[in-house]
Structure formats: structure tokens, C-alpha cells
Structure 1
Amino acid sequence: MLSPQEQTIHWTEQGQPRSARWHSEAGNPPPKRVQVADDTMNADTAYRLACEGTALLWRGDFQNARQLLQALARRADHKHGKGKKKPAKAPATPTEAFHLHRQAQSQRARTLAMLLIPFEPGYAIPLRRAPDVKLACNEAYGRGEDAFVISLRELQGLIGAHEWRKAGVPILALDGEHIHPHYGVFSPVRGEYVQLVADTPLPKGTNLAFDIGAGTGVLSAVLAKRGIPHIVATDMDQRALSCARDNVARLDLHDQVELIEADLFPEGRAPLVVCNPPWVPARPSSSIEYAVYDPDSRMLRGFLAGLKDHLTPNGEGWLIMSDLAEHLGLRPREQLLGWIADAGLKVLGRTDARPVHPRAADASDPLHAARSAELTSLWRLGAA
């Protein structure tokens, strides 16, 4: 079976059958129905076709395509509750609210993904007023040697990621130095979890630390800046490893931080093992969502189950995570404590921090009740 990036999209144009490689980072299959569209198509027609499952391969002005996507988004938001005269019935539980929210997000994403952009070999967009996205595409996808088709929404995400990568994210715990997230790697914009790692006292004699699931490498960088001479950082994702390697080099920490590809733990034991797993036990709908959504809490349970065997005597495991899943009714606190005990671990202490991101104060957010009560915690764990 072909991977999503190797599948082919087919359409008819000027009476002739056409095809190209289909690319979807979310793993969506190529649309079965494709209609060529241009500047003459109005937003209402485009929205109706998109809702019916007909994709629109754009041949008009690129900037007009951007405006059309904004118009489709307004219609999708209105359909899913924003701007409705009659408010929908309130969900009975936070769990129901979460699932309804995810369902609405998924439906909205499917609709907006129906506006497609063609690419020529070398990442050239053959449309009027199209931007030069060659560098952004090379960063995200590698060399582009063939024609392909993607959704405009995915392309906008790629361009946005390129801008984040250029600008970087200032990290207070690194004295304002920047971490530069790559495409598909979760950005450390929520500074409270990073600050917890910066402020918690290190175990005595910590000359080695493991950073499990390194991502951008931000926690490895913080530990290195705190004076730990050797950090072994692991990740399974090649984009994350490349991103962490880039950030470690930018900060001139390559002599302290070693990056390896591994599923959770490296070999050996350390006096400090740090992990910031995905916080919500649910299925991700795109590659970058794996940093937030962890089906069946796989990474969390794997970290806890293997931690004892990778700690030196009197060593500590630092589990950094939000309790949002608890407020959503997706994972009770008792279950987390049970997993800790079953792994032969005990809680040595816990430090909490309130999130400061905008959603925590947004009363219009469908999950506002859970987000407003959320705490991010650093759990200090040791062998029982």
C-alpha cells in the first residue's frame, strides 16, 4: 500500500485526464472528486462543493485563493456554532464537550482541506502572484523533484512554520535565547513547563541526564545551561532530531548534549531522567498533534514502566505534564497514581504552575471550563 505522500490524485482538465502525486502530512487520502476552479468561482459555490466532498484544484490568482480559504473558514465557523442565533445545547460533561470539539475541528479541517494548490518540480507554484516557497518546502519536505498537489491550508501551515523557524521562540529559562522549531515539531510557546525544569533543584551529583522525547531540544538546552555536563536526548521523529540538533548547535551546547534515535530510553542509567510526554490520551489528526495527543497514553505509560530501570540509586525522574486530561474526564488522577505505583515508583514531590497561554482565559473556547482549571506540574519520581 502506498504511503499518503506516494498516492496519486486524478482529475480532468480541458477534457483530458490528469494526475499528480498527492501529498498530505495528515495522511488524508487524495479526494475522489476534483474540480478545476479559478477566480470566477464564488465562496458559496466553493463551500457547497467542499462540504459535498469535491476538491477544488485552483488555477486562478494565488492571493484570491487565500481570500477564498478565509471565506470558507468563516462559513465553516458559522456552521459549527460561532455566530449562530440559536445556541446549541450545552454538552452534558467535559468529556462530551471535548469529543464534540474534536469532531467539529475534524469536520472543519476536512472542508478547508478541499482547496488545492498545484506544484511544479522544484517547488514552483504555477499561479499568478504565488509566493516563493522553495526554501520553506525544502526545509519541510527535502528536495522536490516532481510535481504534486497539496491543500492550501497545509501550505499555509508550512509557510507559518518557516516563519517561526526563522524568528525562533524566546525562552526565559535560557536568558531570552531563542529556540527555533522546525516544521512538524511542537513549538515551546508554553513557557511554564520549561520554567519548571529550570527552577526545580537538581538531584545531588547530577553529572548525567536523559531527556526522553527531545522535540526541539529545549529541555536539554535548559539542563545543559544549568551545568549538567552530559545530556542524552532521545526521539523517534527525524524532524525532531534534526530540529534539536540545530538548536543545540545554535546554542553551542553540542559538547554537552548527545542526540540519539530511540524509542523512549537510551541504554544505561542516569541520576536524572526528564520527560514531557503528550498530555491528552486521544488520537492525533496530524503529525504535529502527536506532541499533544497520545493514544492510550502510550508514551506516558512507557516512560513510567521503564523509568525505574534507568535511574541510578537515589536518582529522580521528572515527569512534566498538564492535568488537562483530568479536567476533561479522559484520565483520572487515580489512574496516573496507579501507574506510578505499579511501576515501582513513588512521588517525591510535585511543583505546579498555572498556564498563561491565551486559551486559558478565553471564555468562548468550548473547553474553557477545563482550560481555566488546568495546572502544569513537574512530578519528582523515585524508586519505591
Structure 2
Amino acid sequence: MTNTLNWLEADIEHSAPWHAENGTPPPKRVIIVDDTLNADTAHRLACEGNGLLYRGDFNNARLLLQALARRIDRPRKKPAKKAESPAQAFHLNRQSQSLRARVLGMVLIELEADYRIPLRRAPDVKAAYTQVLGEHHPAFVTSLRELLSVISAYEWRKKGVEIPEISGRIYPHYGVFSPIRGEYISLVAKAPLPSTELAFDIGTGTGVLAAVLARRGVKQIIATEQDPRAIKCAQENIDQLGLNTQVEIIAADLFPTGRAPLIVCNPPWLPARPNTPIEHAIYDFDSQMLRNFLNGLSAHLTADGEAWLILSDLAEHLELRSRETLLEWINSAGLAVIDRLQTKPHHPKANDPTDPLYQARSAEITSLWRLKLKSDISQPD
């Protein structure tokens, strides 16, 4: 999102374009701060909605951000009200994370037209920002938190994520969800293929599942995606893996034209409203993508083909969507479940009792649902 940030500095009015990937508007009030600002004062000012435009030493600005995070995360003197249900715990946790992001987003950094940061000991971020915004971009102001995430994404993109199932690496781009949860990838690598002729990969993201299918010998995979960054990311990954003769990346809203004997989809797992672009890979408001995928299969799956739906049951444990509702959607779409492959997630939060959603995360199961067009097949529980 681009808007204008205005501030007064040395009795002179200044303005610059505001850039926020998460779409947040610029702060209405801006205070010029430097290395003399202590963390308690910064915390108070940020909580009051003041943008803190930093002048001085970049490393000190980063230390200030860390100090703010510690103040936000420290236990309250008065314990927070205990959630009455898993769904309420989820929504309270999202509210808490949103407030945390808003306060931390108040530490601001100015970048010049060549992506140079005019602070002492500032890093060279030109290569990182060129990958996100292009070679030439006018001067702008952004949050230090976002700037650090751009740097982090650049490092991830350089080193990549090792994926054993493809005997190679996937290089996620900024704003494209990284395939660091490998359990769903292993399910796609193990499920019995109904055909090796053609497959559709719906919402391919980094292209990792299309790559898995190609490594398994599927001759042609058409992978669809809407987000321009994800399309570019997937294409680069497929190219560097040498799979571009098997995999075609196209821009499409869910399905390409035609029918396929295998259609794979890993939709966002939680039915909640995304607040930032990257959250579209996590949250599916009102389960719209999930339901549209299921309802569209009858027009795109061959009569003897299979659809693979990769889905966590975390939403069920959080009481955001029931198993009965999911099965009803499958049935109403004219589909039957022929099998369900399951695995437990291995991410750290599943084993962290201090996580607010630990009870749900510790019970979570990731499944690959094998679906066929409805016939006389009986559905398992």
C-alpha cells in the first residue's frame, strides 16, 4: 500500500510516500526520535499511535524494536481473561498478535531512492528490496519491522528450503508462503497416483507440490496461481529444478480449462479473514477457496480421476469448522471419500505448552483426502 507520510522536522514540513506490504495506513502523528529515546517512552508513544521516525544508529533502532517486543510480550500483572472456548482463544490470540504488530510497526525508517538507509551502520538492502519492488523506486518510509522481514526473506530466498521429496531446494520469494511444514509434502509424495498423464495443482504457491508430482513421474502438470509474486516464484523454482518441460505455471482463479485425472489442492487451513497478503496462505475467509475447490471438481475431474485435498484439522480443534461440515460439503459437491492419509505436524508450536493455542495444536492432524466423483463408494469416517 502506498500513501503519504507527513512530519515536521527542524520546523520544516516533510512528506514521503508510505509503503506497507500489509496494507496498514501511515501513522497520523510522527515524532522524530534518535538514540536517546528509552524503550519505556517509546512503548508509551507507540501505544498512543505515534510513528517514531528514527534518526541515528540503525543497530540502536533494531535494539529499540527488540526492547518494545519484550515489553509487549512480558506477562501482565493482571492475568488476561481466560477464553471460554477454543474459538474464543483463537480470536483473542489474533487480536493480541494484531495489536503487537501495530505497536511494533510504529518504529519507522526512511529509505532513499536507491534504497539507501541514511542511518549510521545501516545495512545495504538494495538487493533485497530490488527483488521486492524492482530496480528503481522512489524514496519512501516504511516500518523497521517490515524492513527486517524483507531482509529475512531475502536470506531465505538465497539459501532456500531443502525438500527431500524433490531432491532439491525451493526458494520462496517475499510474500509467498514458505513450505517449511514438510508433513503435507510427504503425504503428496506417498499417496498412490491414479495417473501419471496429467495433474492440476491448484494454488501452487512456491510450486513445491507441482515439483513433487513431477519428480514422481507425472508427465504434465498445470499449476495455477493468482498472485503475481507467487507465479514468478513458482516459475523460478520449476526452472531451477529443471522441471519446466513437465510443469506449466498459469495465472488462473483456481482451475485451468479442461479435465485431469488428478487434481491437487492445499488451501488455507483456517476459516478466518486474512489481514495481510501473506495471510491469504493461512486464512480462508468463510472457507471460500475450500468450498469453491470442492464445488468445481465435478467440472474438471475425469470420471475415474482423483482429487487430493490437503487439509489440517486445526480448524476443527479450534471449533471454527466441524468435521461434519467438511463431509457435508464434500458430499454436496458430488464427491466421495475413498481414503484419507494422515500425519502429525512437527512444528515447534505443536510441542510448546506456553503457546495460547497449544491444546488445539497438540491434537492437530494433517490429512490428504482422496476424493472421487460420487458413485456407489461408501465414505469412511
C-alpha separation between the residues in 1 aligned to 2:52 and 2:15?
14
CA distances 1:104-147 after superposition (whole Å, capped 9, x unpaired): 00000000000000010021111110000001001111233311
What is aligned with 1:170? 162
Out of 277, 280, 285, the position equivalent to 2:275 is 285
Partner of 1:63: 59
- The 8 Å contact of residues 109 and 141 in structure 2, kept in 1 or not, is answered as yes
What does residue 114 of structure 1 align with?
106
Aligned equivalents of 2:307 and 2:114: distance in 1?
A: 46
Percent sequence identity over aligned pairs: 62
The corresponding residue for 2:118 is 126
Judge conservation of contact 2:196–2:217 (CA < 8 Å) in 1: no
Assess, with a 3 A threshold, how the Cα gap between structure 1 residues 379 and 113 changes in structure 2: closer, same or farther: same
Task: State how far apart, in whole Å, the 2-side matches of 1:133 and 1:243 are.
Answer: 20
Instruction: Please provide the CA RMSD for this pair.
Output: 0.9
1:353–1:375 contact (8 Å) kept in structure 2:
yes
Q: How many residues align?
A: 374
2:192 equivalent to 1:196? no
Question: Corresponding residue for 1:44?
Answer: 40
Q: What residue ranges of structure 2 are gaps of 5+ in the alignment? A: 375-381
Residue 300 of structure 1 aligns to a residue whose secondary structure is helix
Instruction: State the distance in 2 between where 1:376 and 1:266 align.
Output: 26
- Given candidates 289, 299, 304, the residue that maps to 1:299 is 289
For 1:364, the equivalent position in structure 2 comes to 354
The two structures have a TM-score, normalised by structure 1, of 0.96
Give the gaps of 5 or more residues in structure 1.
none
Partners of 1:308 and 1:382 within 8 A in 2:
no
Shift of 1:283: 1.2
Match of 1:34 in 2: 30
TM-score, normalization by structure 2: 0.97
Aligned to 2:320: 330
321, 329, 351: which one aligns with 2:341: 351
Aligned to 2:251: 261
4+ long deviations beyond 6 Å: none
Superposed displacement of residue 44, structure 1: 0.8
Secondary structure class of the residue paired with 1:162? helix
Deviation string for 1:256-310 (max 9, x for gaps)? 0000000000000000000000000111121111100111111101100101110
TM-superposed CA distance for 1:85, in Å, is 5.0
Q: Are 2:81 and 1:89 equivalent residues in the alignment?
A: yes
Q: Tell me which amino acid in the other structure corresponds to 2:366.
A: T
Cα deviation, residue 70, structure 1: 0.2
- Supply the distance in 2 between the matched residues of 1:379 and 1:322 (Cα, whole angstroms): 10
Q: Which residue of structure 2 lines up, in the alignment, with residue 382 of structure 1?
A: 372
Letter in 2 for 1:309: A
1:105 aligns with 2:101: no
CA contact (8 A) 1:9 1:30 kept: yes
3-state SS of paired residue (1:181): coil
